Structure 1
Amino acid sequence: MGSLGGINAPVENLNWHQWDRVLVVVAHPDDPEYGLSVAVKEWTHAGVEVSYLLLTHGEAGIQGMDPSITGPLRAAEQQAACDQVGVTNLTILHHPDSMLVYGLNLRKDIARVIRVRTPNAVVVANFEVEAYGGLNQADHRVAGLAGVDAVRDAANPWAQPELLAAGLEPWGADTILIAGHPNPTHEMPVSKESVDAGVSSLQAHKEYLAALPDHPKPEVFIPEALKTDVGYAVTFRVFGR
């Protein structure tokens, strides 16, 4: 997905200590592991329940490997990555990798999980066209925008009445966080132990990283990306409380 980049003078520290549950919505296995998982480890260590929702299995992500093999492999690697940072709820949907389509069906699938998990905060990745030093991948853009819109859908009983008919009551998350945004509003100080866990979570994607020989080493670029003058921090652009 690309690194989170350096700390860019955010306005204030993220006030998360009253949260009970967080939902992370991303497109592929490995997408949470480029710095965001460091914040996840900080949350779970404090007792916050963090759930991951992946919209695809990442089956198109390893060149030279058949998608029927790649999808289960990457799902298993994502579970191993979750284990490194204390994520106990992993849901992977079956939308097609590299062909993710923005629309009501995708929003409904995300809204359904929001109503099931009832998070205080929903985290998505940067969905700008330009991101991570280049042009953002199409699935990342779709996933982020659909995730943001699904937060509103999940809170509106009239937006998707079939969810209400299925017994899923509306749920309004208080906060939306965008990870990897070039203009963050908040920073979240994190410990060296959480940084190390975040590094291990990316290293858990062994086969995926092995197929990318020019990929920077996680133990080098993640600490460097999150380093501040006084320690380490993950940054977000935050909407809501």
Structure 2
Amino acid sequence: MITTDATDLPDLREMPGDWRRALAVVAHPDDLEYGCAAAVAAWTDAGKEVVYVLATRGEAGIDTLDPETCGPLREREQRDSAAVVGVDTVEFLDHRDGVLEYGVPLRRDIAAAIRRHRPELVVTLNHRDTWGPGPGAPWNTPDHRAVGRATLDAAADAGNRWIFPELADEGLQPWDGVRWVAVSGSSTPTHAVDAAPGLDRAIESLLCHRAYIEALTDQDPEEYVRDFLTTTTGQAAGRFGGRPAVSFELFPR
């Protein structure tokens, strides 16, 4: 969880709204629900199309379940979770959970997804080494770092016909229409979306990951989820006119 003193930081700007399609690319089921489902709910309420692409099925995420059991369970939870916030399309790239590597194969798969769905906005999760600035910040996981970095790079790869030219042979023509990549969970956010209208659905969406949450904490799942999302969206309020917010670091292209 990122905590920053907002008093010396600039205000967060409103996220751009002049787009129609977004693609959210993350490593695991629940990555989006822990960070930006309230923003997704606001976007789909406004008539925008959002698609989820997950690099893995999260099959290594629950110690008490073997991967063959865990993967299909977490996939079902993710599809149910996405539906709560108005997302109908959820795709899985079938990379192995826990051992994702940044590199050409991952970039290619994400570039293919960008060409397939042709988003103007791409969303991903914190690609940096830690979950906050300064010494003592929690270490980020290798899967998050790999997918975040690969997504930032694939936004450019998708528009270059000479990178992964075989994708065109598969019917995926270059797409140079990505205008921004928005990174959720960044310790240096620049923009935000008002979380209040979508917060209850964000809570319901995260609760869909019940098997994962029950393995993670002894706290009542609904209490845990509500506390977590209320706290995290409240942290940005001081820089966003007092409104609870989902914050992003926005990289224009």
Q: Shorter-chain-normalised TM-score: which range?
A: over 0.9
User: Which secondary structure does the structure 2 equivalent of 1:167 belong to?
Assistant: coil
Unaligned runs of 5+ in 1: none
- Within a 5 Å distance, the mapping from 1:38-117 to structure 2 comes to 38-117=38-117
2:213 is equivalent to residue 238 of structure 1:
no
Where does residue 16 of structure 1 map in the other structure?
Answer: 16
Contact 1:121 1:176 in 2 (8 A): yes
User: Which secondary structure does the structure 1 equivalent of 2:246 belong to?
Assistant: strand
Which has the higher relative contact order, 1 or 2, with Cα contacts under 8 A spaced 6 or more apart? Answer: 1
5 and 24 in structure 1: CA distance in 2 versus 1, 3 angstrom threshold:
farther
Contact 1:6 1:226 in 2 (8 A): no
Contact 2:25 2:151 in 1 (8 A): yes
Contact 2:2 2:131 in 1 (8 A): no
Q: What is the CA deviation profile of residues 157-213 of structure 1, one whole-angstrom value per residue up to 9, with x for unaligned ones?
A: 1111001122211112010111110011112223x3301111111111011111112
Structure 1 Cα separation of the partners of residues 183 and 81 of structure 2: 21
Contact 1:21 1:121 in 2 (8 A): yes
Runs of 4+ deviating beyond 3 Å: 3-12
Structure 2 Cα separation of the partners of residues 54 and 123 of structure 1: 12
Cα-Cα RMSD = 1.8
User: Which secondary structure does the structure 2 equivalent of 1:122 belong to?
Assistant: strand
Unaligned runs of 5+ in 2: none
2:201 is equivalent to residue 189 of structure 1:
no
Structure 2 Cα separation of the partners of residues 152 and 11 of structure 1: 29
After alignment, is 207-216 or 18-27 more displaced?
Answer: 207-216
54 and 158 in structure 1: CA distance in 2 versus 1, 3 angstrom threshold:
same
Match of 1:221 among 201, 216, 228: 228
Q: What is the CA deviation profile of residues 28-55 of structure 1, one whole-angstrom value per residue up to 9, with x for unaligned ones?
A: 0000011311111110110110000000
Contact 1:59 1:74 in 2 (8 A): yes
Structure 1 Cα separation of the partners of residues 2 and 119 of structure 2: 23
The count of aligned residue pairs is 238
For 1:87, give the aligned amino acid.
V
Structure 2 Cα separation of the partners of residues 88 and 100 of structure 1: 26
Structure 2 Cα separation of the partners of residues 159 and 7 of structure 1: 42
Q: What is the CA deviation profile of residues 66-110 of structure 1, one whole-angstrom value per residue up to 9, with x for unaligned ones?
A: 100000000000011101111111001110000112221111111
For 1:183, give the aligned amino acid.
T
After alignment, is 14-23 or 60-69 more displaced?
Answer: 14-23
Cα displacement (A) at 1:14: 2.9
Contact 1:7 1:233 in 2 (8 A): no
User: Which secondary structure does the structure 1 equivalent of 2:52 belong to?
Assistant: strand
TM-score (structure 1 length as normaliser): 0.93
Where does residue 148 of structure 2 map in the other structure?
Answer: 144
After alignment, is 132-141 or 198-207 more displaced?
Answer: 132-141
